[in-house]
Each structure stands twice: as C-alpha cells, then as structure tokens.
Structure 1
Amino acid sequence: MEFPVKTGNPAKIETACLVIPVFKEAELLPTAARLDDASEKLIGQLLERGDFDAKLGNVQLIPFAPGLGTERLLLVGLGERDKCQEAGFRKALDAALGALAGLPVDDCVMAFTEVPLAERDVAWKARMVAEATHRTLYRFDEFKSEKAPTPRLERVTLLVSEDGDAAAAGEGARIGDAVGEGIDYTRTLGNLPANVCTPRYLADQAEALGQASGGALEVEILDEEALEALGANTLLSVGRGSAEPSRLIVMKYQGAEDPDEAPHVLIGKGITFDTGGISLKPGEAMDEMKFDMCGAASVFGTVKATLAIRPSINLVAIVAAAENMPDGRATKPGDIIKTLKGLSVEVLNTDAEGRLVLCDALTYAERFEPASVVDIATLTGAAIIALGHHASGLLSNDDDLALDLLEAGETAWDRAWHLPLWDEYQEQLDSNFADLANIGGRPAGTITAACFLSRFADTFPWAHLDIAGTAWASGKQKGASGRPVGLLTQYLLDREADASVETEAS
C-alpha cells in the first residue's frame, strides 16, 4: 500500500474517489465546504433534502461529481460533532474503507486528517487511516479453492488542509503503515492451522525475518537439545506429549546508538495448539486453540513493525513455542518440574501450560539485563470473564511500566486495563509438595496466573498482558485480531522518545 500526502485545492484533485467526512447537522469541514462551493452546493443539498444522513458510519457514493476533478465522491457520516471521539473516528474510517474495498478503484484521496479530535494531532489521524486501510483490506483465503475478489485499492492519499501539516501526516502514515503490516502478519500467523503453524514453522519465520532485515535482526533458535542443556525443563515439559519439537526463539534488534544500552524485552506465549494435555479441554470450539500462539504472533508482528520503522532502541523478542498434546510421555497432573530458575512447580493442571513455557522464557531474559520485560499471552479464560473482548488484562510489578503501557494502549487505541497484583493472591499458589503450584483455583484466575509469572520476574521491571479476550474473535467473524501489536509498537516508540528527551537534557 502507498500513503502519499497531498495539499491544495480539493476541487481540482484528480482521483478515482474523494472521501469526505461530514458531521450531522453541523457546518461542513473546510474541504467539504470548498467542494460544496465548486459543485453548486451538491453536498449541502444532499444534506438539506435528507438524501444523506450523516449518522456515524453511514456512507453514500456519488458516482458523478460535476465541477470536481474526482471521478466519484464518497460521503462518510461522523455523527454529531460534539460527540466525535476516537472510537467514532475509527468507525467512520472503517465504514469508508469498507465501501472503497467494494469499488473498482485503485486509488482514493481521504480528507480525514481535518476531523477535529481533542488531543489528537494530524500524525495520529494519518496513522489511523493507514492502520484502518490494512485492517479493512486484509484477507486470509490461501486455503480456499475459490477466492473472493481482491480489493483493487492500492493507494490512499491523505489530503491535508495546511502545508505545514504535510510532514506530520507523512510520518503518521509511515508509522501506521508499519503497524498495519505488523498486525496483518500477526493475524496471518494466528489464522494458520496448527498443522502448518508449528513451533518449527515459527522458528522458520524468525529466520526469514532475520534474512530480510539486512542484518538488523539477529536470530537464535534453541532446539530441544539446547533447551535440555540449558535446564528449561518446564518449557520442555509442555511439549513432551507432542510429536512436534519445542523451540525457544530469540530475535535481537539493536537500533540504539549505544549497543550496550539495556534492551526492552518482549516475550510471547507460542502454544501452537493447546488440547489441554492430560487435563483435556472440551471438544467444543477446540479448533480455536490454534489461536493459543497469538501472544507469540503479536511479538512477531511487533518485530516486523519495528524493522520497518527502525526506532533508536534495543529490542529482544523471545518466543516460547510448544504444542500441548496428550500421549504416553505427556506431563501428568501431580508431576513436579524444576524450572530454569531453580524453583520446583507442581503441575496440578496441564491446561495451565502457558505459564510453564513463559516462566523459563522470563528466566532466560535475565541474561540481557533488560530495561523492561513485557510478556504477552492468551493465558486465562478468566480474563474474558473479567474484561470481555474489549480490553487486554495488564498486571505488573512496576507501576511506572504499567502506566507506560496503559498510555501506549490509549494512543494506539489498543487498550488494556490494570488489575492488581497484591501479595495476598500469592498464597493461592502454595503447594504441599513443591515451591509453588501452577494454578491457584478459580477465584481471580487471571491474577494468580500473573502471580505465578511474577515469581520469575523479580530482577527487572515486568508486565504481563493477558490477551485471551482480545487476540481473536469467534463466530462468523472468526479470526485473529492482530492485537496488541499497536500497543506494543507504541510502547517501544515512546521509549525511543523518552531516551531522546533524556539525551537532550544531558
């Protein structure tokens, strides 16, 4: 996709379709007003006669626009002006791009950067346009014999009213394009069936990213022999019942001027299929357990976005990949495993396997002496009960890190909600036979899962994102969402900005 920026008289712009946002019962925005003047009050008449209702998300295509350079005009409703916020802006964008995807057009020009949003600048709005374009045009049909028609749209030009806003719009679009590509990549990895997307497949993906990076990404793959020598017994225990070998995947990006600058670490849960192991899951919707590697997929997507943006930070991305299957070698309830950290874990439920692969990955991250560590996992069904499918669960041992992630989520419109991580919850993990149990019972399941992980994150600022409710959708719209690539990428960009401010201050 291309996202050029254009200024100038909108009436003279030559394009297949000019997309104009319109408020309900309010003055036309500057671009719409200029087009109205040039087209003998075409837009105004449509609104006055009630031929177009500017209700949020409504669209109307005008196939001929006399007096204008565009071949088509697409009006998009923004609803009431005093209620216009980020969510409505994004809904209008999705509606506009959904309409464009069904038209025989290769290019369009969008005037969304002039929509007034409190505390959101031109760059943010341009970024949202680019992300929405990727979100709308994404298709996953590689296993279908008969494929649906592919949208023709290849170029979305951002129209800005002021020449001084062009650079900011261009940078916003660049970031949005990179994040959109990362989200698409994450969705594809999540949507792939488990007989294709295995731990070894994820390892191959990492190596492909490294080869395509021009040397910017260093990749190391630890196979089962290396993990055995390392002592990553809990990660290995999860994959014991599978014919697919487990992997620990490590990707290193060094963008900071100082190669020794402490890196930020992202860790993804990569359970490529989760039967529950011996603690077998119910059969209903078990096919969706291919999405249990969406934490890992989001790490891959964030790495892809980072390689496109090239921020001045150091990043280490770790993926703990395994397949959780039941067979004669599988870990059993009651088994006790020694972790890479040296703590012993009583496995009371083999379906609480994500924390077992993550705990060894967290211990492995200690060697990088990280500035921060964020793990991302489809960890608990309890997160869906608590937060539904709108917010990811956030727990942390560092309030500043938690606030940074919450702020990044608000900026990226990929939001999380902060849950407590109090010491009182730790008691639920007490075991009669080992240092800790891998489950803490039904009460506060999301919190006790994070409590388990916190035992392995005591040497660095750490946060946990439970994305069980946000990583994919079920039903007719079944598929991976690509979250939280937007949040994670924004978090890294914010760390770059913080480092720049600190450098200037010194």
Structure 2
Amino acid sequence: MEPLDRLVTQELSMKIRPVWDEPREDNEAEEDASQALAVFITREELESGAWTMAAGTEVPAAIVGAVRELAARGRFSGRLGETEALPTLGLMPGYQALLLCGLGEAARAEGTDAWRDAGVYAARAALGQGLERLAAPLPRAGRAAVRELVYALAEGLWLGCYRMPSFAASRGTRPPALKEVALLCGRATADERAGLQRSLEAAYAMALATHYARDLTNLPGNYLVPETLAREAQTLAARYGLECTVLDEHGIREQGMGGLAAVGGGSANPPRMIAIRYRGTEEENADVIGLVGKGITFDTGGISLKKPEGMEEMISDMGGAAVLLGLIHVLGRLRPQVHAVIVIPAAENMPSGSAFKPGDVISVMNGQTVEILNTDAEGRVVLADGVLYAKALGATRLIDVATLTGAVLVSFADVATGAVSNDEPFLQELLSYARQAGEKVWPFPNYPEYHDMLKSRVADIKNAASRDRWAGSITAGLFIGFFAGDAPWVHLDTGGTAWLWNERGTEPQGGTGAMVRTLGHYLCGSPAAEGDI
C-alpha cells in the first residue's frame, strides 16, 4: 500500500505571485512571462466596453472588436461561469491568449462569491487550454474590500486546479497543470502589500485544506482503514507541532466507548479513536471548541446491509474526518487564537459474526445505553462516543460534521448541508461564517416532538426513530445532541454535499471537502480581514 503522502495533497503545486509596478532587473522579465491574460468581466462592463479598463493593460482595437463579435454571436455574455479564450496573434506582447472570464451582474461582483467562483472557472479553463502560466489584474474595489476579493479570487483559482487522484498505472503521465498565476497589483504601499500577502497566505491555507480533504475522501477503502487514518492524523499533527492521541481497540474498550467498539467490532480492521489538541492562546480559561468528525472509512451498513448499487460511494463516509484533518492545515498555518480539540471516531462498519446487531443494547462512554434498531445508523453511534470524549478533553462547545444521513438528500438534494443545534445564537454565528465562505447550510428545527421519536422502552435512547423515514436527518442529529447535553452544539450533516457523482458548478466530482471553509472561517474569523489572525 502506497504511503498516503503520495496520494493526498500536502502542498499546492500552483503558485500565485503578486507583481508590483516597480523597476525590475532584466533577468526578471522572463520569469514574469505568462501565456495568457485572464480578464474578469461583468455583464455591464462587457456591454459598455469598460472591460478594457479592467484588463490592467491596453487591449488592441482588433481584439476589442473580436470580443464584441463573440458577444454579438452569444458566445460570451459575461455570465458567471462563462469563459472564452482568444488568441492575441502577437498583438499583446507577452500573452499568447486573452482569457475572458464572466463575473455576472455588477452588483453580485461586488461580493466575494462571484470572484471565488470566477477563479474556479478561470483555472479550469486554463487547464483545458493547456496553459501553465496565467496573469490576472487585481480585482477592482476600494482599498477596504480589495483584500477580501483577492482572497476569494486566489482561493477560487487554487480550488479550480483540483484533480481527483488517479490510481491508473499511467498516472505518472499527467496532462500539463497550471503552475503559476501572476497577480498584477500595480502600485501599493508597504502596508497594502503586506495585507495582500496575508490574504494570499490565508487563501492558500484554506484551499490546501480543501484539496487535502477531497483527496482523503476519494481514497478507496482498501487504501484507508481506521489504522491508516490514525497514522495520517499523527503525521499531520507532528508536522505542525500539535499533540495527537490515538486509542486502539483495547484503549477504546477501557474508556467505555461501547458505541465505537460495537460499530468497529464486525471488521478485521479494528477501530481507532483519534484526538488532536490545538492551543492557540495563552488564556487558560478560554472556550475550547470541540470538533468531532465521523470517520467511517467504509460503510456496508453492517447487518442492516445496504443495497449494492452505489455502495462504492461509501468510501466517502469518513468525509467529516477528512474535513477536520484538513483543518489541521488551517490551524497550523494561520495559527488563530483559539483552543480546539479535534476528535475522530474511526471504524469500518462490516457484517460478520462479530458485528453488532439490530436489537442489541450497548453502553457508551458516559454509561448511558443505546438500543440498536438499525446497524446502518452507525455514524451517530460512534459520534456519541466522539462528543463525550471531546467533552472529557475539555470542550465547552461542540460542532460535529458527518456524512450522517441519506435523508438529508430528500430535503436538500446534494446542494446544501443540513444543520441541527441546541443553541440558536451559536447556530446563527456558524451560518454567518458559512455565508462568508460561500458554502450553503440550512437549519432543521429542534422541537420536543422530534426528541420523543428517539425514546426507547429498553434503553436511554434508540439509534433510529420507529418510522425512520420521517424526519430522518433531524432525529439523527438530535441523537448526537442527546450526548452533547447542555454544551452549546451544532451538527452539520454533509450526507448530500461531501460527495458528488458528477461535477456541478464549482464543485468537483467525488469528494468536495464541504464544510472545510465554513469551519476554517469560524476558527479564524474572516481570514482576509485586518486583524482577525
């Protein structure tokens, strides 16, 4: 089995380099050569002709005419997601092509979402054209907003370069990749340069975390089992000087983690409980954010066996764990002033003679009991031990992220992540960071009637409602909330968003890394804002 560092992104190969207007040495000219100039254009700029000012350089009349002809033929309208490459035919020295990138309506282009999305589409278009070097002018905005737009554009460019890992024998002969984007920044003060550089560093950390989470989610189940996931967590923690503890199957039982032990008991690959501690401030009494991620490295459903069609997607059932390990890159690089503990219960859910069964009653870490009605509702069972362990390690508020239910697809398809919480202000705070990050999250209600659906006649709680097709995502989340107790808690169900069967919009096929950026923003504040980090 190959080491994971060869299969999972450790650094991004594409660089974004700011270029400032200043005297330059002759030998630097060749380094600045770009194959294409990317110009980001709103629909209004295209119609008025003002896009030539947005190019950051003089655009020859012949090329302006060619763009007008494209618009007249309906080939390019400035709509977000549209790209079109025009050869410069030697009319723009230093550039072989002009890459037109739509920003959509001008009002929308004032926010970060349009620039992030346009960056994704621009990178994909450059890859499609076989371009290795690209230049792009600085986004147009006032000085207060330009850092956030640069952050969004850079993040989008990096995210757009993502390619799913290949296990083919010929994977060594990959097509050309985008190697560099020169960001044409004009003149700036030393403080402005430093601010833009911090924006680029923050965007890099968030994009690296997302690439990493996508790669980890895409690993086949025979490459990633609980033990290899634990070793990867240890390696990643050591890279950034963080404390990592791993409990094996014996330690899990000694700690009374009967939920994790039961779910992992049917597999030849025993379970692991992973904990990583991050201390970003000297304050001893600071809140400790407990982040708990579902790490089911493959889910057959256990004795309650899933249907075979589509079961291969269950390599993604550790998508929550992938998100949290990706966040180690954010914490390690940006060093936000927070305390956090990351907990990942990892197991394979397999059917065998030693597997747990419907009708079993098991005890979790705090001694409470769970009646098992469905062994395919295993994620919430391991997360019960996960949130209890996070609380034992000092967590004062909790966020769990998990590919928890298929029912969330009924509510939101694969478009939005579902959320359940016991603390409305905490939930609203997290939703505000999701909007900043450009990720879609929508809350479910938390009514007493839903709690009643989980009452058991023989245990403290049952792991599925009797009519488990009713309010399935809500009751699954509230099962976890039962063990969160009085601690402020938010559950994020990425059962529809962590994995896509086909590329959609700016999201790739396969693992998406959904919720990396939301949680990264929550931990760091707005990464591009002055003074947040």
2:212 aligned partner: 185
Question: In 1, distance between residues paired with 2:225 and 2:37?
Answer: 44
**1:123 corresponds to which of 147, 162, 165:** 147
Trace 1:204-219 onto structure 2 (pairs within 5 A). 204-213=231-240, 215=241, 217-219=242-244
Shift, 1:469, TM fit: 0.6
1:235 aligns with 2:254: no
The equivalences for 1:88-237 within 5 A come to 88-111=114-137, 113-114=139-140, 121-147=145-171, 149-160=174-185, 163=188, 165-213=192-240, 215=241, 217-237=242-262
**C-alpha distance 80-363 of structure 1, shift in aligned 2 (>3 A):** closer
SS of 1:3's partner is strand
Cα drift, residue 29 of structure 1 = 4.3
- Indicate yes or no: 2:77 matched with 1:54: yes
Quickly say closer, same or farther: Cα 1:495–1:486, change in 2 above 3 A: closer
Match of 2:478 among 451, 465, 480: 451
Which residue matches 2:518?
487
Partner in structure 1 of residue 320 of structure 2: 295
Aligned to 1:375: 400
Q: Residue deviations 1:237-289, cap 9 Å, x none?
A: 00111111100001111121335533212110000111111111111101111
TM-aligned CA deviation for residue 69 of structure 1: 4.0
2:25 aligned residue: none
In structure 1, what is the Cα distance between the partners aligned to 2:474 and 2:457?
Answer: 21
Equivalent in 285, 293, 296 of residue 268 of structure 1: 293
Tell me what 2:35 maps to. 16
Cα displacement (A) at 1:96: 1.5
Amino acid at match of 2:446: L
Report what 1:251 is aligned to: 276
Deviation at 1:209, TM superposition (A): 0.8
Contact map agreement 2:264 2:271 (CA 8 A) in 1: yes
Shift of 1:404: 1.4
The whole-number CA distance in structure 2 between the counterparts of 1:157 and 1:81 is 24
Say whether 1:363 aligns with 2:388: yes
- Aligned ranges for residues 322-341 of structure 1 at < 5 Å? 322-341=347-366
Q: Secondary structure at the match of 1:414?
A: coil
**1:74 & 1:381 partners in 2: Cα distance?**
40
Note the C-alpha offset of 1:387: 1.1
Cα distance change of structure 1 residues 166 and 346 upon mapping to structure 2, 3 Å threshold: same
Q: Does residue 435 in structure 1 map to residue 455 in structure 2?
A: no
Name the aligned partner's letter for residue 487 of structure 2: F
Q: Distance in 2 between matches of 1:77 and 1:455?
A: 47
Deviating more after overlay: 133-142 vs 26-35: 26-35
- Distance in structure 2 (CA, Å) of the matches to 1:475 and 1:50: 29
Letter in 1 for 2:308: G
Deviation of the 1:45 alpha carbon:
1.9
Kept in 1, the 8 Å contact 2:237–2:328? The answer is no
CA contact (8 A) 1:398 1:462 kept: yes
Contact preservation (8 Å) 1:267, 1:376 = yes
Distance 2:402 2:387 in 1: 13
For structure 2, the 5+ residue unaligned runs are: 1-13, 23-28
Q: Provide the TM-score with structure 2 as the length reference.
A: 0.86
Report the AA paired with residue 485 of structure 1.
V
Note the C-alpha offset of 1:113: 1.8
CA 1:462 to 1:127, structure 2 compared with 1: closer, same or farther past 3 Å?
same
Q: Is the 8 A contact 1:14 1:71 kept in 2?
A: no
2 CA distance for matches of 1:258 and 1:125?
A: 33
Distance 2:300 2:144 in 1: 44
Task: Please say if residues 54 and 76 of structure 1, whose CA atoms lie closer than 8 Å, have aligned partners that are also in contact.
Answer: no
Rounded Cα–Cα distance in structure 1 between residues aligned with 2:246 and 2:349: 20
Q: Which moved more, 1:99-108 or 1:452-461?
A: 99-108
Q: 2:442 is matched with which residue?
A: 417
Task: Give the Cα–Cα distance (whole angstroms) in 1 for the partners of residues 473 and 492 of structure 2.
Answer: 10
Distance 1:485 1:395 in 2: 18
SS of the aligned residue for 1:53 comes to: coil
Q: CA deviation at 1:31?
A: 4.3
CA spacing shift, 1:120–1:378, aligned 2, 3 Å: farther
**RMSD between superposed Cα atoms in Å:** 2.7
| Alignment CA distance shift 1:497-1:260 (3 Å) | farther
Name the residue aligned to 1:72.
97
Q: Are residues 381 and 309 of structure 1, via their aligned partners in 2, closer, same or farther at CA, if it must alter by over 3 Å?
A: same
Quote the offset at 1:454 in angstroms: 1.1
* Cα deviations by residue, 1:32-69 (Å, 9 ceiling, x for unpaired): 3653xx34334432233346623321322324352544
Q: Pick closer, same or farther for the CA change 1:168–1:54 going to 2, 3 Å.
A: farther
Contact 1:31/1:111 (<8 A) preserved: no
Q: Residues 302-344 of structure 1: CA distance to partner in whole angstroms, max 9, x if unpaired?
A: 1122212222222211101000011111111010011112211
Once residues 33 and 431 of structure 1 are traced to their aligned partners in structure 2, the CA distance between those partners, rounded to angstroms, is: 65
Which segment is superposed worse, 63-72 or 397-406? 63-72
Identify if the C-alpha distance between structure 1 residues 166 and 68 changes in structure 2 by more than 3 Å, giving closer, same or farther. farther
Task: Give the residue type in structure 2 aligned to 1:108.
Answer: L
Q: Which residue pairs with 1:26 in the alignment?
A: 48
Closer/same/farther in 2, CA of residues 42 and 178 from structure 1, 3 Å limit: farther
Question: Secondary structure of the residue that 1:365 maps to in structure 2?
Answer: helix
Unaligned runs of 5+ in 1: none
- The size of the alignment, in residue pairs, is 493
Q: CA deviation at 1:453?
A: 0.9
- What's 2:18 paired with? 5
Paired with 1:305 and 1:172, the residues of 2 have a C-alpha distance of 13
Matched residues in 1 for 2:347 and 2:108: separation? 47
- After TM superposition, the score normalised by the length of structure 1 is 0.90
Contact 1:65-1:73 within 8 A present in 2 as well: no
